[in-house]
Amino acid sequence: MKKLKGLMSVVSVVWAFFLLIAFTFTWVARNWTPSFEQNEIQISTAGALVISLTGDDNHDVVSLNEVVQLDSFVFKQVSSQDGETFFWKDFTPTLNDEPAVYKKVTDLQKENYIDTEFALKLDDSLTEPKYIFIHPDSILSSENIGISSDVAKAIRISLQYEDIDENGQPVKYSYILGNTEDKDEPDYSTSAVLPDADGKNDKDETATNQQKVYNLRYFNAGWDNYTNGQTDHNFTVEPSRTLFKLNPGGIRWIKMRIWLEGADENCVNEIAGQSFDMVLKFDSISVSQ
C-alpha cells in the first residue's frame, strides 16, 4: 500500500452528490419509464483517510459514474427492508383485478438503483487507532417548493460492512440512512418489503415490516455541538454513535446502495422534476480522545 504523507487530527472523506431528478413514483402503476439523471457524482478525500476501489489503489477523488460505468441513471422505485435485498412491484396481475406482486430484483433491474463498493483506508504512519464516523456536514435535502412531498425524504442510503466482535468473530453490519425528523432516534414510519417476500402480493401483511432508518447525523460520534466550519474535535466521543474503528494502515470495505424507496409516503407523482443535494462526509477521531 502506498504510504500516505502527513498526520492530521481531522481526517475526512467527502462523498458529494448533486443529483437532478425526474421521476414519478410510490408503487405507481405506469406505462412510461421515469428517469433519474444527474451531473457527475464524485467521491473526494483529504488527510489520512483515502478511498480505494481495488484494495491496492489510493484516490483523493473518484467519479462514481465511472465506477458504475454509467453516464446517467434510470431509477424505478424499489424497496428494501434491510438495505441489501431489493424488490420491485409487478402490476401485471392488476389487469385481471388481482393484487400486484413483489418480485426480487434480478440483474435486469440492477440499474434501478446504485449498488457499489469502496474501501476506507487509514494512513499507516499513524500511531493509534481511530473511530470512523459521519461528519455533521453531511446533508440530504431538497427544495420542495409548492408541494407537500419531499423527494429527499424518499431517498435511502445503506452502508454495509463486516467487523470483528468482542469474541473475535466476524459480524455484518448494515445501516439505512435517510432524511428523518429525529437525529437521535431511528425512524420506523416506512413498512418496506422483507427479504423473503418474493412472489407475495401487496395485500399480504407478511410481505412487509418496518424499515429502520437513521438520520445522517446519528453516527456523528456525539459531535452534537458542531458549528459550521469547525475543525477541532471539541467533544466527548460516544463509541456507539460511530461506525467502526480502524487501526493504522487498516482497510474496511463498505457496500453502498442508494435508492428511491417505493414504500415511502413521499414517493409520489408530485416529486417529479425535483432536485436534491446529498453530501455524505466521513471523518475520524482518535480512540483515546
**Chain segment 35-79, per-residue pLDDT in tens:** 334 444 455 554 577 777 788 887 666 666 666 665 555 567 899
Write the CA distances from 158 to 33, 82, 114, 258, integer angstroms. 25, 9, 10, 7
**Chain segment 105-132, per-residue pLDDT in tens:** 988 777 788 888 889 888 888 889 999 9
Look at the block and give the residue holding cell 415490516.
209
**Chain segment 125-154, per-residue pLDDT in tens:** 888 999 999 888 888 887 766 667 788 899
Give the pLDDT score at 33.
33
Give the pLDDT score at 11.
40
pTM score, whole prediction: 0.84
List of residues 6+ apart from 6 with CB closer than 8 A: 47, 48, 123, 125
Write the CA distances from 168 to 42, 162, 171, integer angstroms. 35, 12, 9
Average pLDDT over every residue of 3-30: 40
- In this model, does residue 194 exceed pLDDT 90? yes
